[in-house]
Amino acid sequence: MAALGAEPLRLQLAPAAAPQPSLLALSSGPSLPPNRGLERALEEAAGSGTLSLSGRKLKEFPRTAANYDLTDTVHADLSKNRLMDVPHEVVHLVSLETLNLYHNCIRSIPDGVISLQSLTALNISRNQLSVLPACVCGLPLRVLNASNNKLNALPESIGQLSSLMELDVSCNEITALPRHIGRLRALRELNVRRNLICVLPEDLADLPLVKFDFSCNKVSTIPVCYRKMSRLQSLQLENNPLQSPPAQICIKGKVHIFKYLSLEACRGDKMPDALYLHDQKPHPRFRDDWTPAADGLSV
């Protein structure tokens, strides 16, 4: 028995044994912190020129990006995030050639994008855009995808995109195509599917289109001048209230459609002459009672 006044007995517990790592942890190596994958993407972008930040639930551009030199970034993929605006950090990546902003919540494009004078491909599809600003038309774009937005019109300045080869504005609320779309002399593919277009501009006939999709609109007439689209390989026109050509012609395909348009053009060329002759008095020499003497001619 311990003597009175002696220090009380202190029980010291042995430290708990450290948990053993699971077989899964051993086989997969050390796990990265939640933001380590993001940091690695920024590191790789600084070295490769390709910034891949797709599907990371980002609401803004990573603040830690300021720790990396991204000035030489050529390709940027920010698709499938939650961005409300085009990040101003992206606008400063003046070496960008391709920019993918697909499937975000972007409502507007800042005027500052005009600084991206190396940008040749822009994907702004599946966002919340109601206006395509004129500044986009000041870029050297070859591919522009603005499908699945809320656009009700395209700017007249669209004609400034002289290098544009592919334009996709499908699944919007566009009611008419601008007149200056006929200035897109390099355009090969045009997709205006699922809009509210009633009239197709005749100026499209002069473009070197290879693919043209105007299905699911309100078009009733295909201009006869479209028969000149000699390079056209794919024509999608279903789900329109077409009357000219009629449905029984359209279902037969492009060759029959163009044949119909050519016949309509011939009829149109002949009709003015017929109307003109009908309204004019016949020349005396074509009357049944004409004689040389009637014109003062000697026999």
User: pLDDT, tens digit, for every residue of 131-165?
Assistant: 999 999 999 999 999 999 999 999 999 999 999 99
Task: Please say whether the beta carbons of 39 and 64 come within 8 A.
Answer: yes
**Local confidence band at 36 (pLDDT 50, 70, 90 cut-offs):** confident
Which residue did the predictor score with more confidence, 11 or 173? 173
**Local confidence band at 270 (pLDDT 50, 70, 90 cut-offs):** low
Query: Is 253 part of a structural domain of the chain?
Result: yes
Query: Is 67 part of a structural domain of the chain?
Result: yes
Query: Is 277 part of a structural domain of the chain?
Result: no
**Local confidence band at 271 (pLDDT 50, 70, 90 cut-offs):** low
Per-residue pLDDT of 278-290, as tens digits, reads 444 444 443 444 4
| Number of separate domains in the chain | 1
* DSSP SS3 for 50: strand
Query: Is 227 part of a structural domain of the chain?
Result: yes
Does this model's pTM top 0.95? My answer is: no
pLDDT of 243 higher than 90: yes
We report the CATH number of the domain holding residue 61 as 3.80.10.10
Q: ∠ CA 32-38-41 to the nearest 5 degrees?
A: 110
- pLDDT at res. 265: 85
**Local confidence band at 167 (pLDDT 50, 70, 90 cut-offs):** very high
Least confident of 176-190, 202-216, 217-231, 269-283: 269-283
The amino acid occupying position 113 is V
Query: Is 68 part of a structural domain of the chain?
Result: yes
Q: ∠ CA 132-45-39 to the nearest 5 degrees?
A: 105
Query: Is 40 part of a structural domain of the chain?
Result: no
- The phi and psi torsions of 212 (rounded to 5 degrees) equal -140, 120
Containing domain of residue 239, as a range?
46-268
- pLDDT at res. 8: 46
**Local confidence band at 101 (pLDDT 50, 70, 90 cut-offs):** very high
- pLDDT at res. 26: 33
- pLDDT at res. 35: 76
